[in-house]
Amino acid sequence: MRGSTLTPPDPLAPLDLAFWNIESAEHPMHLGALGVFEADSPTAGAHAADLLAARAPAVPGLRMRIRDTWQAPTALRRPLTFGGATREPDPRFDPLDHVRLHAPATDFHARAGRLMERPLERGRPPWEAHVLPGADGGSFAVLFKFHHALADGLRALTLAAGVLDPMDLPAPRPRPERPPRGLVPDVRALPDRLRGLLSDAGRALDIGAAAALSTLDVRSTPALVAESSGTRRIAGVSVDLDDVHHVRKTTGGTVNDVLIAVVAGALRRWLDERGDGSEGVEPRALIPVSKRRPRTAHPQGNRLSGYLMRLPVGDPDPLSRLGTVRAAMDRNKDAGPGRGAGAVALLADHVPALGHRLGGPLVSGAARLWFDLLVTSVPLPSLGLRLGGHPLTEVYPLAPLARGHSLAVAVSTYRGRVHYGLVADAEAVPDLDRFAAALADEVETLLTACRP
């Protein structure tokens, strides 16, 4: 049985296929989120695990496995599908394979770090939910893991929301059906298609040239580079969103500009404290940009581009660092997410499926050449989320750690707080908690600098 007749196999989009093929045991390509909930009894965690298992079968996306395919190209099949993969329902889906209740934990982040090390099982739907009861009985945490080929940040949020308590949200608009495609293309559309192909080719050349130039005069730090140990450590820090808004209103720009500048300042503190030194350091930060259109886009498949910028870690003035970040982000926005060195993810569309299959191991090692640090933002609804009636109080997004990198930063805002989720190679960054503390300290530094 190859899947339900009601839900035919869906070929993976090129970027999804790239994420599926660059994965290795030392560098699993799942993203995650660690949510902390209030609890009214020591049994709240066990009840939450039962609810997650009971609700998962009703969320279609959680039943989807990824299956490698080896279709032979024919006149009726595009060669791009050869060596690809499909997303299709798993006829053997059992939610108990994916929802796991653990022993009580005193440190949610330490336990979640060990769980983030483990790759998802590729033979069944690639997601997991780990419920961690708090040792004090006053809280519990849930670690969600989703393979990046199954979901990007927005899609993962949708899947996770499907197993939380229902919320009153506006229904998404239905996606308009495409007319059936004939075997022979409409000749009237050929000029437009040709122009589109030429435009895509020109954009690809621009992106490739910009990526090559971005590797010149790199002034990074060995602290952000690591040979893979396969180990993971995670940490989180929460800061007041009102403090961030105060800095933004005083200096101009956006909340995201301030959050990125906080990362630059925290890196400076951290490098100096550990003795690596920050003078002259300008690591390249990749800032992913979602190209998904809310409520109208196809619900599956990654729609990602990105901006690439050099963080002014070596600048000792916090307001000057913020100004540099703001100017760099303004330039990126003026150019748009479809061009520039940060848009390398878009090149996945120009690679045949077999190229992703064969070139995945090589591409996975190129991240170190392209950027030094991932800084990604994950939007969350402003409404309060609950599980079994228990309110979600903290949520830390967790990004995949690319090969050759020692640290990845994800950030989200929720209920008046900013949550930074940090993922690091445990051997390369044993002092991740110090970097987390540096993030909070940098917010205070910016607040002080903004006072008259």
Q: Are 424 and 407 in contact (CB under 8 A)?
A: yes
Selection from 366, 345, 348 nearest residue 356 by Cα: 348
Q: Residues in the chain with pLDDT < 50? A: 1-5, 72-80, 169-173, 175-190, 192-216, 294-299, 340-360, 362
pLDDT of residue 441: 97
Selection from 120, 77, 147 nearest residue 301 by Cα: 147
Distance CA 297, CA 293 (A): 5
The three-state secondary structure class of 173 is coil
Q: What would the pLDDT profile of 234-293 be if each residue is shown by its tens digit?
A: 999 999 999 999 999 999 999 999 999 999 999 999 999 999 999 999 999 988 876 555
Q: Are strands 85-89 and 10-11 parallel, antiparallel or unpaired?
A: antiparallel
Give percent above pLDDT 70 in the chain: 73
Write out the two tokens for 299: 């619900």
Q: What are the strands of the beta sheet with 139-147, ordered from one edge?
A: 99-101, 127-133, 139-147, 30-38, 390-398, 386-387
DSSP string, 201-234: HHHHHHHHHHHHHHTTT-B--GGGB----S--EE
What is the signed CA dihedral for 318, 319, 325, 329, rounded to 10 degrees? 150
The H or E element that residue 85 is part of is strand 85-89
> Cβ contacts of residue 56 below 8 Å, gap of 6+?
62, 95, 98, 99, 129, 163
Q: Are strands 373-377 and 407-414 parallel, antiparallel or unpaired?
A: parallel
Write out the two tokens for 231: 């180990």
- Say if residue 195 is exposed, middle or buried (CB neighbours under 10 Å; 0-12, 13-18, 19+): exposed
Write out the two tokens for 304: 């990602």
Count of Cβ atoms closer than 10 Å to residue 309 Cβ: 27
Selection from 236, 280, 277 nearest residue 417 by Cα: 236
DSSP string, 373-413: EEEEE----SSPPEETTEEEEEEEEEPPPPTTBSEEEEEEE
Count of Cβ atoms closer than 10 Å to residue 45 Cβ: 27
The three-state secondary structure class of 357 is helix
> Cβ contacts of residue 260 below 8 Å, gap of 6+?
285, 287, 309, 311, 325, 329, 375
The three-state secondary structure class of 423 is strand
Q: Are strands 373-377 and 284-290 parallel, antiparallel or unpaired?
A: parallel
Q: What are the strands of the beta sheet with 373-377, ordered from one edge?
A: 233-240, 417-424, 407-414, 373-377, 284-290, 304-310
Q: What would the pLDDT profile of 383-423 be if each residue is shown by its tens digit?
A: 889 999 999 999 999 999 988 899 999 999 999 999 999 99
> Cβ contacts of residue 332 below 8 Å, gap of 6+?
287, 307, 308, 309, 340, 342
Distance CA 405, CA 401 (A): 7
Selection from 33, 301, 57, 47 nearest residue 160 by Cα: 33
pLDDT of residue 21: 81
Determine the residue type at 199.
S
Q: What are φ and ψ of residue 113, in 5° steps? A: -60, -40
The dihedral built from the CA positions of residue 128, 150, 82 and 118, taken in this order, carries a sign that is negative
